[in-house]
């Protein structure tokens, strides 16, 4: 069975999508439609922008979404997924590619999500850090200990065995990094991000996005969509909407998502979007399954 996975924020690069735009008339049509919907020429930034411009959340999220979804549009009838999943932002790309959202509504939601998250980031200084070489429960226990002292830090992305991203207040993340290193982490490195995604600090963004999602029409997707909040397949629009709202303050359960897809019959994974980050994570998850 064929699974398609959609990349999240962080994989962007200058020049992304340019080959699609220049070589496929249908891609050019959709990129131009996106420029019109957004009210600015995001293609100019995608194709020629600086790294700093591309790191702006209002640009990054729609840029990665466009690159990912337009890739599947170019595939045409070759795009026949048996199941899909997306990492964080990539979940909206997956839902759009699978027909749960129209291209226009998917892009509008991504842009609203980006702006809401940016606002939440500005309300309180916050950050994230990558933790390598520790079991998930060790990371969770240390985060819980620090939360008990009044600082905020949570496990935000379960990317693959031995790789968890934590998220929270700057003080909370810094304290957690020190404690995690003492507990044997190979690395506990703060990331260059604008805020604490997938943490309680995204609650204002969640409330704002909930209104936008409630006002958007969702359809039954052409295949199951494995969602971040529970790593399980969903096809019922109301369930999909509830999980998408919850996603902003809940962790991305990527490791169990991929394990569940494999257990449900996935034999081939194709990554849609810039870069190949997900393929790297999937290969590590597959190795961990084989080693059990």
| SS3 per-residue string spanning 29-80 | HHHHHHHHHHCCCHHHHHHHCCHHHHHCHHHHHHHHHHHHHHHHHHHHHHCC
Domains, the chain, in order of start with CATH, read 2-122+200-291 (3.40.366.10), 124-190 (3.30.70.250)
Please say whether the dihedral angle defined by the alpha carbons of residues 28, 33, 36 and 40, taken in this order, is positive or negative: negative
Just list the catalytic residues. 88, 198
Percent of the chain at pLDDT exceeding 90: 89
Calpha distance 198→71 (Å, rounded): 27
pLDDT of residue 291: 61
Can you tell me the distance from the alpha carbon of 163 to that of 7, in angstroms, rounded to the nearest whole number? 17
Question: How do residues 97-141 score in pLDDT, each as one tens digit?
Answer: 999 999 999 999 999 999 999 999 998 889 999 999 999 999 999
Which has more confidence, 124 or 217?
A: 217
The 10s digit of each residue's pLDDT in 262-292 is 999 999 999 999 988 899 999 999 988 876 5
d(Cα 150, Cα 100) in Å, to the nearest integer? 40
pLDDT bin (cut points 50, 70, 90) of residue 57 is confident
Residues 74-83, mean pLDDT to the nearest whole number: 96
Could you give the count of Cα atoms lying within 13 Å of 113 in the half-sphere of its Cβ?
27
Per-residue pLDDT, 9: 87
Instruction: Please give the average per-residue pLDDT across 148-176, as a whole number.
Output: 96
Closest CA to 209 of 244, 235, 157: 244
Look at residue 156 in the predicted model and tell me its pLDDT: 98
pTM of the prediction? 0.95
Using alpha carbons, select from 105, 126, 98 the residue that is nearest to residue 205.
126
pLDDT of the residue at 35: 98
The rounded distance, in Å, linking the Cα atoms of 195 and 176 is 16
| Cβ–Cβ < 8 Å for 217, 94 | no
């Amino acid at each position: 069975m064929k699974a398609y996975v959609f990349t999240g924020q962080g994989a962007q690069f200058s020049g992304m999508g340019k080959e699609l735009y220049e070589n496929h008339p249908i891609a050019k049509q959709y990129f131009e439609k996106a420029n019109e919907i957004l009210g600015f020429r995001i293609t100019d930034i995608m194709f020629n922008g600086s790294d700093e411009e591309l790191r702006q959340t209002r640009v990054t999220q729609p840029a990665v979404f466009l690159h990912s979804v337009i890739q599947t549009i170019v595939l045409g009838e070759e795009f026949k997924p048996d199941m899909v999943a997306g990492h964080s932002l990539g979940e909206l790309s997956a839902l759009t590619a699978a027909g749960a959202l129209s291209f226009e509504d998917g892009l509008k939601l991504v842009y609203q999500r980006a702006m809401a998250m940016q606002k939440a980031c500005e309300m309180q200084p916050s950050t994230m850090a990558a933790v390598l070489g520790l079991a998930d429960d060790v990371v969770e226990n240390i985060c819980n200990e620090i939360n008990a002292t009044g600082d905020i830090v949570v496990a935000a992305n379960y990317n693959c065995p031995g790789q968890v991203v934590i998220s929270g207040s700057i003080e909370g993340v810094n304290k957690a990094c020190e404690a995690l290193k003492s507990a044997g982490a190979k690395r506990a490195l703060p990331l260059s991000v604008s805020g604490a995604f997938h943490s309680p600090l995204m609650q204002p963004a969640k409330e704002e996005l909930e209104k936008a999602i409630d006002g958007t029409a969702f359809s039954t997707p052409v295949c199951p969509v494995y969602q971040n909040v529970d790593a399980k397949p969903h096809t019922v629009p109301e369930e999909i909407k509830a999980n998408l709202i919850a996603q902003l303050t809940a962790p991305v359960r990527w490791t169990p998502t991929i394990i569940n897809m494999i257990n449900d019959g996935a034999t081939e994974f194709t990554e849609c979007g810039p870069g190949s980050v997900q393929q790297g994570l999937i290969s590590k998850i597959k190795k961990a399954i084989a080693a059990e």
